[in-house]
């Protein structure tokens, strides 16, 4: 497109007038997403234009020099090939996990990225260059080798890396090289995930608790309820709230975790996992779990009804105050408006919630 070509020329002109051309290209990269949104052009096309422009600027600045890559700084691909010592891939025990990549270099530099960052040519460069005192340049030495007539390693390929790492700026080549580098120099470290820890805390609470078959008592006193007909275990939200707060995760995250492990009830419509139930003048909210799942523990004991008023803990008492302010038939959908069926489900003519509360 003419507009993209004009944009590339404008970047080149600004860079040519600057003391350090990379200051200009870095600034353009920082706002490339906004430019793409305003112009209605895909960010990949904007990135392509900027990348081509940077390469042209670098070629122009180094075309008459026999010391390219030495005076200006360490080339991007050379730094990764020669100075990266290890990549530690940190995975967690959570079923829904976004691994963290920890890049370790030979002078003690440490860089941490998520899955997608390393595949962003310029974004990854900025992460690395900000972590080291060494002068790095976005230039690829492999491209310079090609321009100056081959590598100093006598390889048939123009890349300074092995044959299966043909360093290049285009998306496919970059992805191939970075992925190959990670495969060659990485090790995996597994840590306890916050969602797993929260769930283990809930499991411990269930395993040490007495549950009840009386929904009226469970609602009134904030206790664990056993629904034998539906083969479900209903957990007061106070138990969930304490578990997520102790490990600094969220109810939404834990809901996703339990859904991924297939531990939530399949009788609630939509994406819901919890339900507010009214019994008489009491309201309680419960997370509904599949009691047949192997990872859902059995309570220490199951009683028909509460025989005294001492079962309820101070923690559960506090949670009922929250529950009473919630709609008795509201399904916890985390931002998704309840459907008409959800809004009217399990409510009799008096507006009181029925025992099951879920879809058949």
Residue ranges covered by each domain of the chain: 1-64, 72-191, 194-344
Amino acid 6: pLDDT:
56
90/143 Cα distance (integer angstroms): 33
Amino acid 115: pLDDT:
77
Sign of CA dihedral 345, 349, 353, 356: negative
- Compute, in degrees rounded to 10, the torsion defined by CA atoms 201, 206, 208, 213: 160
Amino acid 216: pLDDT:
94
Q: Cα-atom radius of gyration of the chain, to the nearest Å?
A: 30
Amino acid 17: pLDDT:
59
Amino acid 256: pLDDT:
93
pTM of the prediction?
A: 0.63
Residue 229's SS3 state is: coil
Mean pLDDT by runs of 10 across the 360 residues of the chain is 57 58 60 65 63 58 45 87 97 91 97 87 91 91 60 52 89 92 96 96 96 95 95 96 93 94 88 89 94 96 82 44 42 43 40 37
Sign of CA dihedral 296, 302, 306, 311: negative
- Compute, in degrees rounded to 10, the torsion defined by CA atoms 46, 49, 53, 59: 130
226/292 Cα distance (integer angstroms): 12
Amino acid 339: pLDDT:
45
């Amino acid at each position: 497109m003419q507009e993209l070509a004009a944009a590339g020329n404008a970047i080149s002109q600004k860079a040519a007038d600057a003391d350090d051309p990379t200051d200009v290209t870095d600034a353009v990269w920082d706002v490339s997403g906004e430019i793409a949104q305003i112009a209605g052009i895909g960010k990949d096309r904007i990135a392509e234009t900027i990348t081509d422009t940077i390469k042209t600027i670098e070629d122009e600045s180094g075309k008459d020099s026999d010391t390219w890559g030495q005076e200006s700084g360490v080339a991007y691909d050379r730094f990764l090939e020669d100075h990266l010592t290890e990549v530690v891939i940190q995975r967690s025990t959570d079923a829904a996990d976004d691994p963290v990549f920890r890049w370790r270099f030979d002078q003690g530099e440490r860089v941490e990225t998520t899955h997608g960052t390393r595949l962003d040519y310029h974004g990854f460069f900025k992460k690395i260059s900000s972590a080291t005192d060494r002068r790095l340049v976005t230039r690829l030495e492999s491209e310079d080798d090609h321009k100056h007539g081959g590598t100093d390693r006598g390889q048939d390929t123009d890349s300074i890396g092995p044959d299966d790492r043909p360093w290049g700026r285009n998306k496919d080549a970059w992805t191939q090289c970075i992925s190959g580098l990670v495969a060659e120099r990485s090790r995996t470290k597994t840590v306890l995930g916050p969602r797993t820890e929260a769930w283990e805390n809930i499991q411990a609470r269930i395993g040490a608790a007495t549950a009840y078959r009386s929904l009226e008592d469970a609602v009134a006193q904030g206790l664990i309820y056993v629904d034998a007909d539906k083969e479900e275990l209903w957990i007061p939200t106070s138990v969930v709230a304490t578990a997520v707060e102790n490990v600094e995760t969220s109810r939404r995250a834990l809901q996703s975790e339990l859904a991924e492990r297939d531990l939530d009830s399949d009788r609630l419509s939509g994406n819901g996992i919890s339900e507010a139930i009214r019994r008489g003048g009491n309201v309680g909210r419960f997370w509904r779990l599949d009691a047949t799942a192997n990872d859902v523990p059995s309570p220490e004991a199951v009683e028909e009804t509460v025989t005294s008023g001492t079962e309820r803990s101070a923690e559960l008492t506090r949670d009922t105050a929250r529950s009473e302010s919630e709609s008795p038939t509201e399904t916890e959908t985390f931002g998704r408006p309840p459907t008409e069926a959800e809004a009217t489900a399990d409510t009799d003519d008096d507006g009181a919630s029925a025992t099951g509360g879920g879809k058949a």
